[in-house]
């Protein structure tokens, strides 16, 4: 159903407000118009492009919160984080991340996205991966977007923390990992915080 421009732009704004991480391509499909039309609509509505929207959502809060590594060392872009609990990052697979002959992403990029997200979750200036069990469940191709979701599943008395990370393209899981994280300083306050946050 073709909508007039005013109605399309009204719905476009609502759609982006509800899901700031939707791509221009996905919007073009949803509204049955060209990507160029979506870009013009965004310009007229002063809605920034996806990358800027992500940065805005993540913004200063992340830089203040993540202690275990500089935010620029996280592979992918963190879009949501609650320390010691859960986090989400997105990673857009580009030409430089894939094997030239088949356009399939190199596995170490998916691992690095998941592993760096697990590290970022730990509220400690020294958080290191002690052990990892990972599965690559399907090949990821160039231009696909990988959304990694991490959650803390266990904190041992020693402070060693287990983080489960599942990575998705759309609704399909493409990578699963369990990371055991070592930390330098752990006390009961952290554990109480973790218990209370469930």
The answer to whether residue 41 sits within a structural domain is yes
Domain CATH for 42:
1.10.10.10
Structural domain that includes position 165: 59-196
Q: What is the mean pLDDT of residues 25-33?
A: 92
Burial code of 140-153, b = ≥16 C-beta within 10 A, e = fewer? bebebbbbbbbbbe
The pLDDT tens digits for 95-123 are 999 999 999 999 999 999 999 999 989 88
User: 151 or 197: which carries more pLDDT confidence?
Assistant: 151
User: 48 or 66: which carries more pLDDT confidence?
Assistant: 48
User: 62 or 76: which carries more pLDDT confidence?
Assistant: 76
Same domain, 43 and 64: no
Same domain, 70 and 111: yes
Burial class (CB in 10 A: 0-12, 13-18, 19+), 65: middle
The answer to whether residue 54 sits within a structural domain is no
Report pLDDT for 144.
96
Report pLDDT for 112.
95
The pLDDT tens digits for 160-173 are 999 999 999 999 99
The answer to whether residue 120 sits within a structural domain is yes
Same domain, 42 and 117: no
Specify the pTM: 0.65
From the list 87, 83, 103, the residue with the least C-alpha distance to 197 is 83
Report pLDDT for 192.
47
> Residue 184 above 90 pLDDT?
no
> Residue 63 above 60 pLDDT?
no
Same domain, 116 and 184: yes
Number of domains present in the structure of the chain? 2
Angle at CA of residue 62, ends 58 and 65, nearest 5°: 160
Same domain, 18 and 79: no
How far is it, in rounded angstroms, from Cα 101 to Cα 27?
30
Same domain, 75 and 35: no
How far is it, in rounded angstroms, from Cα 155 to Cα 42?
44
Report pLDDT for 58.
59
The pLDDT tens digits for 118-151 are 998 988 888 889 999 999 999 999 999 999 999 9
Q: What strand order describes the sheet that includes 86-92?
A: 77-82, 86-92, 145-155, 161-169, 172-183, 127-136
How far is it, in rounded angstroms, from Cα 47 to Cα 12?
10
Domain CATH for 191:
3.10.129.10
Report pLDDT for 123.
84
How far is it, in rounded angstroms, from Cα 92 to Cα 106?
13
User: 20 or 101: which carries more pLDDT confidence?
Assistant: 101
How far is it, in rounded angstroms, from Cα 22 to Cα 31?
13
End-to-end CA distance of the chain: 45
The answer to whether residue 82 sits within a structural domain is yes
Worst-scoring range by mean pLDDT, 2-6, 29-33, 142-146, 148-152? 2-6
Report pLDDT for 191.
47
How far is it, in rounded angstroms, from Cα 45 to Cα 35?
15
């Amino acid at each position: 159903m073709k909508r007039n421009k005013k109605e399309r732009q009204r719905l476009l704004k609502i759609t982006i407000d509800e899901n700031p991480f939707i791509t221009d391509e996905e919007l073009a499909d949803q509204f049955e118009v060209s990507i160029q039309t979506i870009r013009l609509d965004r310009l007229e509505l002063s809605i920034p492009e996806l990358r800027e929207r992500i940065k805005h959502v993540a913004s200063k809060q992340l830089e203040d919160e993540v202690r275990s590594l500089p935010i620029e060392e996280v592979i992918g872009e963190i879009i949501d984080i609650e320390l010691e609990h859960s986090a989400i990052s997105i990673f857009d697979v580009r030409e430089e991340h894939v094997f030239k002959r088949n356009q399939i992403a190199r596995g170490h990029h998916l691992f690095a996205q998941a592993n760096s997200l697990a590290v970022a979750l730990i509220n400690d200036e020294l958080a290191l991966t002690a052990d990892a069990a990972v599965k690559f469940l399907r090949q990821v191709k160039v231009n696909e977007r990988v959304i990694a979701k991490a959650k803390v599943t266990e904190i041992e008395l020693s402070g060693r923390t287990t983080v489960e990370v599942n990575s998705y393209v759309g609704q399909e899981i493409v990578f699963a990992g369990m990371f055991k994280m070592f930390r330098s300083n752990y006390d009961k306050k952290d554990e109480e915080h973790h218990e209370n946050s469930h």
